[in-house]
């Protein structure tokens, strides 16, 4: 028996050993794929604000508190946000910018937010 005969017979054995694809295997593949898709979490973007926009945002927040006249009291966050957006005019802040602006001001110890109320520090 030469090497080419051994290789040819080995290939035939291997090809007959393969398990044919049947309906059960295909349905299992589909089930796995569906469960994998269900397990994926939606991507969420991290809120961010540009340095120049943050400076504007910070000044607008301060102006809103000056207009309200109660810089020491807790004020509804929605009221401050509406004031900031009205001062921004046509260049309104996105929801992500607002979130990032408030978070950055809080981390800078410029404001404190609790129970949907905000105060200057």
Per the model's pLDDT, the better-predicted residue between 107 and 40 turns out to be 107
- Closest to 94 (Cα-Cα) out of 34, 58, 55, 49: 49
Question: What global pTM score does this model have?
Answer: 0.62
| For residue 1, pLDDT beyond 60 | no
| For residue 20, pLDDT beyond 70 | no
| For residue 70, pLDDT beyond 60 | yes
| For residue 45, pLDDT beyond 80 | no
Beta carbons of 106 and 68 less than 8 angstroms apart = no
Q: Please, where are the H alpha helices in 18-113?
A: 23-39, 51-68, 77-88, 95-107
């Amino acid at each position: 028996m030469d090497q080419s005969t051994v290789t040819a017979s080995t290939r035939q054995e291997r090809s007959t050993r393969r398990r044919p694809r049947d309906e059960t295997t295909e349905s299992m593949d589909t089930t796995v794929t569906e469960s994998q898709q269900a397990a994926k979490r939606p991507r969420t973007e991290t809120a961010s604000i540009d340095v120049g926009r943050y400076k504007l945002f910070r000044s607008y927040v301060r102006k809103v508190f000056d207009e309200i006249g109660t810089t020491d009291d807790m004020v509804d966050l929605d009221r401050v946000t509406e004031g900031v957006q009205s001062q921004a005019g046509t260049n309104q802040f996105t929801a992500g910018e607002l979130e990032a602006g408030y978070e950055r001001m809080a981390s800078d110890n410029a404001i404190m937010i609790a129970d949907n109320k905000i105060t200057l520090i």
